[in-house]
Structure 1
Amino acid sequence: MNEEIMRKRVYGADHEDPDPGPRPGRAYVELVGGPLDGLLLDVTDRPDEQRRTAVPLSTEIGRYGPGGHALYGPRPGAPRRYDWQGDTP
């Protein structure tokens, strides 16, 4: 993994975790735009066909507040980036 990726925080990591960054041997995509911009999403256990579809991610900082979700999907031609597609309740 390159140094820039190693400094990023992984989505779902505990705020108290002294090392919330990526772990060796795991696969990540970068979330781009929206409330989770810049975080990494661990996709290691997602089958390839699921990696090509959008995923709703829980967030309290989106349009719908606590209980809401931000929808991110793969960027065409750049499978290591998932673009924000909007918020859902």
Structure 2
Amino acid sequence: MLDLRPNCECCDCDLPPESPQAMICTFECTFCADCVTTVLGGVCPNCGGDFVRRPIRPAALLAKYPASTRRVLKAEGCGPAAAA
């Protein structure tokens, strides 16, 4: 099950579970659509993979399967991906 992480790893903006702006790679690295487009060029800086829009968990299931509250932020900042 997806973690539904609460923020962009690059700019730290909030990405609530219902946000259509949340983008993830296959490892669930989570970034906002703006950073994916303007900063990262569509390539995950952690693994070198591409991004897809994060699915939205139905509100009725959030009580039973809550989103993560653990914020992840790249301490070194983010930029175009290095080789994985």
Q: Same fold (TM over 0.5)?
A: no
With a CA cutoff of 8 Å and minimum separation of 6, indicate the structure with the bigger relative contact order: 2
TM-score of the aligned structures, taking structure 2 as reference length: 0.28
TM-score of the aligned structures, taking structure 1 as reference length: 0.27
